[in-house]
Amino acid sequence: MKAFLILEDGHVFTGTSIGSQKEVISEIVFNTSMTGYLEVLTDPSYAGQAVCMTYPLIGNYGICYDDQESLRPWPDGYIVRELSRLPSNFRCQDTIQNFLKKFDIPGIAGIDTRALTKILREKGTMNGMITTNENYHLDEIIPKLKAYNTGKVVEKVTCSEKSVLKGEGFKVALLDLGAKNNIARSLNERGCEVTIYPALTTAEEILAANPDGIMLSNGPGDPKECVSIIKEIKKLYDSNVPIFAICLGHQLMALATGADTHKMKYGHRGGNHPVKDLATGRVYISSQNHGYVVDTDTLDPNVAVPAFVNVNDGTNEGLKYVGKNIFTVQFHPEACPGPQDSGYLFDRFLEMMGGNK
């Protein structure tokens, strides 16, 4: 069946429908990862977005449910050049086509994803519609596309109740803003007992449990939408508990301490982004997924200083908080999908909590 991707600037791409055949309006973004499409699909940070994969062949090793980063996929839509018809891998349990249908996610295959990516790079991220309706009318659709926004998606993706990963070492409170599974797993593998809290949990409840450290996770959407969460994070900042934050958590900590964030032209999404540690000068290859960034011009140098910078465009990739056991990064050291270069940051977090128990 034919499918159409319609952008808010009037561009129309024609391809083949994959997954569900429902119609969807979403923010259109692209990801440059060559592998790890299941981890991308199940990353809660993609809630409210339709993802275009720049790598031309997707689905060649099928679906392995053990590799999911959450219980379900979160993108509104999926866009690929070619979808593999015959996946081949000894761990393969399903196909992407069936996976998308199972979770009612529409997609489109067979379009020129390079052309789409160039449009998004030149004009910036924009909204779009995936539809199988051949009788569409642009003059009716484009106003709807321009009016769309992702809204408050953190509440949509966070866990519904508190849970615990048992461990014999440090007790870490993980605030789930849309956390990938491997964040808790990376801490648990280092011996930590991880208590995972829903995003709207109060600072008082978290601190009452007397954690050795607090982890703020990744998550979707505009950080400025998280007004009540930012207020609670400010209370966590005012405590003396060591804090490590990733991605959205990094942005929310900056907002909680007086800095500002802004939307990027097309964001960073992929497993191949170079970041430089300003303390050592060493460059790491990182996994990233974000459309907003901390504005370093608004930082109070008495509160926080830049710790990492993106080598490609010079944007902020991490902060060290002055006089506090707090550091935050924009990228994903848990690295699923992506390299494991920056996994040492979890070890640094353990050192902040007092070394190894």
Asked if 78 and 170 sit in the same domain, the reply is no
End-to-end CA distance of the chain: 59
Indicate the residue among 147, 180, 195 that finishes a domain: 147
pLDDT digits (tens, 9 = 90+) for 145-160: 999 998 889 999 999 9
- Phi then psi for 176, rounded to 5 degrees? -85, 100
Asked if 136 and 164 sit in the same domain, the reply is no
- Phi then psi for 344, rounded to 5 degrees? -60, -20
pLDDT at 104 over 50: yes
Asked if 68 and 177 sit in the same domain, the reply is no
Residues 5 and 79 sit within 8 Å (Cβ to Cβ): yes
Indicate the residue among 147, 168, 199 that finishes a domain: 147
Helices (H), 240-300: 248-256
Residues 127 and 25 sit within 8 Å (Cβ to Cβ): yes
Asked if 250 and 112 sit in the same domain, the reply is no
pLDDT digits (tens, 9 = 90+) for 171-215: 999 999 999 999 999 999 999 999 999 999 999 999 999 999 999
pLDDT digits (tens, 9 = 90+) for 306-326: 999 999 999 999 999 999 999
The domain that contains 179 carries what CATH number?
A: 3.40.50.880
Indicate the residue among 147, 172, 188 that finishes a domain: 147
* Torsional class of 69: left (φ above 0), alpha (ψ -120 to 50), beta (otherwise): alpha
3-state secondary structure of 298: helix
The domain that contains 114 carries what CATH number?
A: 3.50.30.20
**pLDDT score of 340:** 85
- Domain hosting 111: range is 2-147
**pLDDT score of 335:** 82
Residues 173 and 232 sit within 8 Å (Cβ to Cβ): no
**pLDDT score of 162:** 97
pLDDT digits (tens, 9 = 90+) for 63-98: 999 999 999 999 999 999 999 989 999 999 999 999
Cα(219)–Cα(251) distance, integer angstroms: 10
Asked if 190 and 141 sit in the same domain, the reply is no
Asked if 139 and 180 sit in the same domain, the reply is no
Residues 59 and 83 sit within 8 Å (Cβ to Cβ): yes
Cα(172)–Cα(156) distance, integer angstroms: 23
What DSSP element (H or E) covers 120? helix 113-123
pLDDT digits (tens, 9 = 90+) for 119-173: 999 999 999 999 999 999 999 999 999 999 988 899 999 999 999 999 999 999 9
Q: Is 169 annotated among the ligand-binding residues? A: no
User: Would you report the helix, strand and coil content of the chain in percent, each value rounded to 5?
Assistant: 25, 35, 40
* Sheet order of strands, 260-277 included: 163-165, 193-198, 171-176, 213-216, 243-246, 326-329, 316-321, 304-310, 260-277, 283-295
Q: Is 107 annotated among the ligand-binding residues? A: no
What DSSP element (H or E) covers 345? helix 344-352
CA neighbours closer than 13 Å in the CB half-sphere of residue 206: 32
Q: Is 248 annotated among the ligand-binding residues? A: yes
pLDDT digits (tens, 9 = 90+) for 249-263: 999 999 999 999 999
Q: Is 251 annotated among the ligand-binding residues? A: yes
Please name which of 240, 248, 335 lies closest in space to residue 290, comparing C-alpha atoms.
Answer: 248
Q: Is 100 annotated among the ligand-binding residues? A: no
Please name which of 157, 261, 165 lies closest in space to residue 199, comparing C-alpha atoms.
Answer: 157
Give 223-253 as a DSSP string.
Answer: GGG-HHHHHHHHHHHHSSS-EEEETHHHHHH
Q: Is 228 annotated among the ligand-binding residues? A: no
Asked if 30 and 116 sit in the same domain, the reply is yes
- What is the total count of domains within the chain? 2
pLDDT (mean) for 3-13? 97
At a CB cut-off of 8 Å and minimum separation 6, what does 44 contact?
Answer: 69, 70, 74, 157, 178, 179, 180, 218, 219, 220
The pLDDT > 70 percentage for the chain reads 99
Q: Which two tokens stand for residue 317?
A: 């990739």
Indicate the pLDDT class of residue 357, thresholds 50, 70 and 90.
very low
- Measured in whole angstroms, the distance separating CA 83 from the mean position of its chain's CA atoms is 23
Question: How many angstroms separate the most distant Cα atoms in the chain?
Answer: 65
User: Hey, which residues are catalytic here?
Assistant: 247, 332, 334
Residues paired with 273 in a beta bridge? 286
Cα(252)–Cα(231) distance, integer angstroms: 9
Higher pLDDT pick, 269 / 150: 269
3-state secondary structure of 273: strand
**pLDDT score of 110:** 98
Asked if 136 and 256 sit in the same domain, the reply is no
Neighbours of 250 (CB within 10 A): 27
